Structure 1
Amino acid sequence: MDDFGYSLEVKLTDEELARYLAHKRRWCDFQPLLESRGYRLPKQYHPDRASAWLEAPRAMSRNHMCYPHLLHGTRISDDRPVMLKLSRTDLWEATIFEHLSSIPDPDNHTIPLYDVITPPSMPGADTTDQWCIVITPRLTDCRNRHIDSLRDFVNFLSQVLEGVCFMHRYNIAHTDVARTNIVWDARPNPPDPSDAKGKSSWSEKKNLAPKKYYFIDFGLACSFSSFEERGLVRGVCGQHRNIPELSEEIPYDPFPLDIRQLGEMLKRDYTEVYVGLVFLEPWMARLRDDDPAKRPTAPEALAGFQMLVSTLPEEKLRARLLGRNEWPYGRRILMVAMFLWIVGNASFLWWNWDRFDMSISQTLVEQR
């Protein structure tokens, strides 16, 4: 599995290969500027090696095909791993990112912004070929398992809801609320005791400091100057394409879209994956209502979730959250299935014993 969670190799079409090579050439072109600003790229992106990209293989891992605009790097001053993203200047992603990052608010779950670097425009380039580079810390993707207990899940979802409330409060809709666009920072946690003494126990792990979660990727975000200026948008966007209002022709409100996307993420990536989240279903059904007007606002969704959580006993919050494919959960299902099989067969024998007894007796008589 690669750094983006994929391992499958895919074959590139001519168009995909051209896009891939164009981004790689840009990274090579921008390498001297980034180095001068304090960011080191991998060695293969040095301009002297740019010609190697012309011979790039058509078969490569899926992340190289899907994410050539993303690159891992290092901040030279402290060797801090960073993520660099090429963003078109005409899409306003960097502007929205800078605005959100600058707001001091306890509900602000925007990933810290290290830098926005705008290379000089190429002669004759149009606005769709002008780029800036957004630089953030490289954190851990939520596609990796990031929750162990129900308390961990509550902490995660509380922060996600706070982040959506924050964006909506400042009249920004993310429009791509998905697990892949939420990352977490594990640095506040103390060193894992397993480093020196073997694997740490469950009781040790559950005492680690709560994770801090952040939203990333504002490439599809919609920004409005005030609540009164909010408007409708068009377009089929985001990673959840089963949302009824998405349309290229009929305009829709992007703020209820965030709420529906949150509900889709919870259903697909959490309630269908983990055992013990049934208590969320009535609340989550409101988030996933097909009528955008019937969905709760972000503050209403947060308040509803907090009310649900307040009723949970402490022992349940401390309990380990089991995946549906984990052995303890699967073992219970297997034991129930075996019990039902035994009971079913015993009942069948009980009700048909006279018939079997008669058949056995007849067989013995015939043998004599």
Structure 2
Amino acid sequence: MSEQASASSASSASLESSAGALPASFEYGDLTSGEIFWRDHQVWLHEHGYLLRPRFLPGSLARAHWVDDPRNHAVPILETLEVPDDKHITIIVMPLLRKYCQPRFDTFGEAVDFFSQIIEGVKFLHDHNIAHRDLNGLNIMMEGSKMFPDGWSPHHPKLNRDFYSGRARLYTRTQRPPKYYIIDFGISRQYDTRDPPPLEDPHRGGDKSVPEFQLTEAGEAPEPCDPFPTDIYYLGNLILHDFVEGHPDYEYRNRLRGFGFMRDLAKDMTAPDPAERPTIDEVVEPFAAIRRSLNFWTLRSRVVKVRGFPDPRRPLRHWCLRIGYILRRVPAIPSYQ
């Protein structure tokens, strides 16, 4: 996949890899004389693994590419706007998203839904030979419009859209399930084949701990490596740091209690030797088994931090709300679909 920044390319004839095409749910103006060449050669370019921006595509191809598959958790592109007074700039319009963990997860069932969606999203990418190459917690976000029916302030997500009239009204993830999205495809790539595995020079993203990116014992630069096991490491490390063990630098702030059921799988995913890590297909099956093993009360139970000052009123409020869910037969594991 070409860099996401290529959508803001300096030339109207710039190309994106076929995995990086922008969904076209809108119409463009007439093509200029200089653009007709690209329209007429789009089939030939597509055969060689490149897809032109939707402006140059036949409508059926543009609408059919990528877009409506529910397994797709890549952030959607709603529209592109060409700046009239600067041909070198294109504005990309995306949904307003929130950090995936804000507000906090209320129940274990909500967290299990998060794991399910992100594993599904990574599998979708890998099934299309796309390696994200920077799957850290900052690049996974949440579409929260159902949870926040009146919106929120982009400057301060806990407040109303106008920023000064109070806290934003919200529902829990159980009441209004969100969809989680993978963002920032700036260093992502799509490959023609994974047999033999593609080898890429290390490109360090937000998570600097990738074992295969470290200097050798002799201080030499690391060798080119397969980016797909690195994606698995990123995902496993996110689960370890944000749920199971806490980040080594911020353990006091974000370590949660009770996620030991994900430890063994996350440890396998973060094996120091990339060859020993499971593929995403080999993650799906054991995770499904973990999901099936969690009982009703675990899934309904409240997620709490290891440290902090407990509020004795919170468990009572929690179970009063949960009993209401049970009586109304609201699923313990939410589903955005």
Task: Name the structure 1 match of 2:177.
Answer: 210
Which of 222, 230, 240 is 1:257 aligned to? 230
Seen in structure 2, the aligned counterparts of structure 1 residues 86 and 295 have a Cα distance that, compared at 3 Å, is: same
Which of 276, 289, 308 is 1:307 aligned to? 289
Superposed, which structure 2 residues align to 1:1-368 within 5 Å?
A: 87=8, 96-98=19-21, 102-103=65-66, 104-117=68-81, 132-142=90-100, 144-189=102-147, 191=149, 205=172, 207-228=174-195, 230-246=197-213, 250-271=223-244, 272=246, 273-328=255-310
The normalised TM-score by structure 1 is 0.56
Seen in structure 2, the aligned counterparts of structure 1 residues 89 and 225 have a Cα distance that, compared at 3 Å, is: farther
The normalised TM-score by structure 2 is 0.60
Task: Please identify runs of 4+ aligned residues in structure 1 that moved more than 6 A.
Answer: 89-95, 120-123
Cα deviations across residues 119-139 of structure 1 (Å, max 9, x unaligned)?
68989xxxxxx6543321111
- Paired residue secondary structure (1:214): strand
Cα deviations across residues 226-282 of structure 1 (Å, max 9, x unaligned)?
444751100232111111112665110000000001111112222222101011111
| C-alpha distance in 1 between matches for 2:131 and 2:101 | 22
Cα deviations across residues 139-173 of structure 1 (Å, max 9, x unaligned)?
11225334111011001111000000000000000
Q: What's the offset of the Cα at 1:314?
A: 0.6
Bigger-Rg structure (1/2): 1
| C-alpha distance in 2 between matches for 1:303 and 1:92 | 37
Aligned residues: 236
1:165–1:299 contact (8 Å) kept in structure 2: yes
2:233–2:271 contact (8 Å) kept in structure 1: yes
In terms of fraction of residues, the more strand-rich structure is 1
Q: What's the offset of the Cα at 1:305?
A: 1.1
Seen in structure 2, the aligned counterparts of structure 1 residues 121 and 236 have a Cα distance that, compared at 3 Å, is: farther
5+ unaligned residues in a row in structure 2: which ranges? 25-64, 151-159, 161-165, 215-220, 247-254, 313-337
| C-alpha distance in 2 between matches for 1:93 and 1:313 | 46
| C-alpha distance in 1 between matches for 2:295 and 2:190 | 40
5+ unaligned residues in a row in structure 1: which ranges? 1-83, 124-129, 331-368
1:85–1:135 contact (8 Å) kept in structure 2: no
Q: What's the offset of the Cα at 1:186?
A: 1.9
Q: What's the offset of the Cα at 1:188?
A: 2.8
2:100–2:180 contact (8 Å) kept in structure 1: no
Q: What's the offset of the Cα at 1:88?
A: 5.4
| C-alpha distance in 2 between matches for 1:261 and 1:110 | 16
- Paired residue secondary structure (1:133): strand
- Higher RCO, 1 vs 2 (CA within 8 Å, ≥6 residues apart): 2
Indicate the percent of aligned positions where both proteins have the same amino acid: 29
1:173–1:222 contact (8 Å) kept in structure 2: yes
| C-alpha distance in 2 between matches for 1:138 and 1:305 | 30
Q: What's the offset of the Cα at 1:326?
A: 3.5
In terms of fraction of residues, the more helix-rich structure is 1
Seen in structure 2, the aligned counterparts of structure 1 residues 137 and 190 have a Cα distance that, compared at 3 Å, is: closer
Cα deviations across residues 86-105 of structure 1 (Å, max 9, x unaligned)?
85569977864326893132
> Root-mean-square deviation (CA), in Å?
3.8
2:212–2:222 contact (8 Å) kept in structure 1: no
1:94–1:116 contact (8 Å) kept in structure 2: no
Seen in structure 2, the aligned counterparts of structure 1 residues 249 and 191 have a Cα distance that, compared at 3 Å, is: closer
Seen in structure 2, the aligned counterparts of structure 1 residues 179 and 87 have a Cα distance that, compared at 3 Å, is: farther
